[in-house]
Amino acid sequence: MTVGGWSAARVVGVADVTPSARVLHVTVPGWPGSAAGQHVDVRLTAEDGYQAVRSYSLGSYGPSDTIELAVDEIPDGEVSPYLVRDVLPGDELEVKGPLGGYFVWRAGGAGPVQLIAGGSGIVPLVAIARAAKDAGAAASLRLLYSVRTAEDAIYRDELERGADDGGVAVTWRYTRTAPDGWQGGVGRIDIESLRSAVWAPAQRPIVYVCGPTGFVEHVADALVELGHAPERIKTERFGGA
């Protein structure tokens, strides 16, 4: 995996998926393909030459030269509001990648895999869930997805089809408001919710945790407390703007 320079890319599709997030499809001629869980750098250049670069996880994986980003708007940011509010099909930007060789999943591994997402941390885990489904390995994966409300869940429809559709089984956790008829608790992930939703430590799962720093710190600490081996917990945290 050697990262080349910047590739010109064109936005070919945008879809608003939550009040603050948008899924973008971007065609990158010459894209080498990516593994599930990798990310890209995106560079935007203004007409006067001003540039800004940010990293975004890929919701897509595999060889297609149209990649998928899901971007959550950070209100005081300078790049995410552009990508969520302003960008239109046909607009151009630049992409470098794929990046990252650690927070990735590849078909063929033995044993169960647990995915745990907070908020927009779902994006690389959706790529992993899709890859597992396509590889016929979805039954060995579980996903625990923590969101404020159902409306804040990126990829909600796809994930709700979940195991019924041959995909990864999803356990939802609502931190603020649960949908009508919700039987479970509401609040942030705690030891009990991990105990019931996550493969047991004795099954020696590999655990992928992605979300804001506070979420990842909290969940990773709780997993260790539950008896999961620290070296089997892979984390990806994001912050900044």
Distance in angstroms (rounded) separating the CA atoms of residues 241 and 224: 29
C-beta of residue 8 within 8 angstroms of C-beta of residue 43: no
C-beta of residue 227 within 8 angstroms of C-beta of residue 236: no
C-beta of residue 6 within 8 angstroms of C-beta of residue 13: no
Distance in angstroms (rounded) separating the CA atoms of residues 223 and 53: 33
49 binds other proteins (CB under 8 A): yes
**Pattern of binders to other proteins over 65-104, x per CB under 8 A?**
------------xx--xx---xxx--xxxx----xxxxx-
DSSP state of 179: P
The residue behind tokens 């620290």 is: 230
User: Which residue, 41 or 65, has its beta carbon nearer to other proteins?
Assistant: 41
Map residue 163 onto helix, strand or coil: helix
233 binds other proteins (CB under 8 A): yes
Min dist CB 44 to other proteins, Å, is 4
200's tokens: 């047991």
The residue behind tokens 């969940």 is: 219
Interface pick for other proteins out of 56, 105, 145, 238 (rule CB under 8 A): 238
Interface pick for other proteins out of 15, 52, 107, 200 (rule CB under 8 A): 52
Instruction: Give the range of 1-9, 117-125, 150-158, 166-174 binding other proteins by CB under 8 A.
Output: 1-9
180 binds other proteins (CB under 8 A): no
> Which positions touch other proteins (CB under 8 A)?
1-3, 6, 8-9, 41, 44-55, 77-78, 81-82, 86-88, 91-94, 99-103, 213, 216-217, 220-221, 223-224, 230-231, 233-235, 237-241
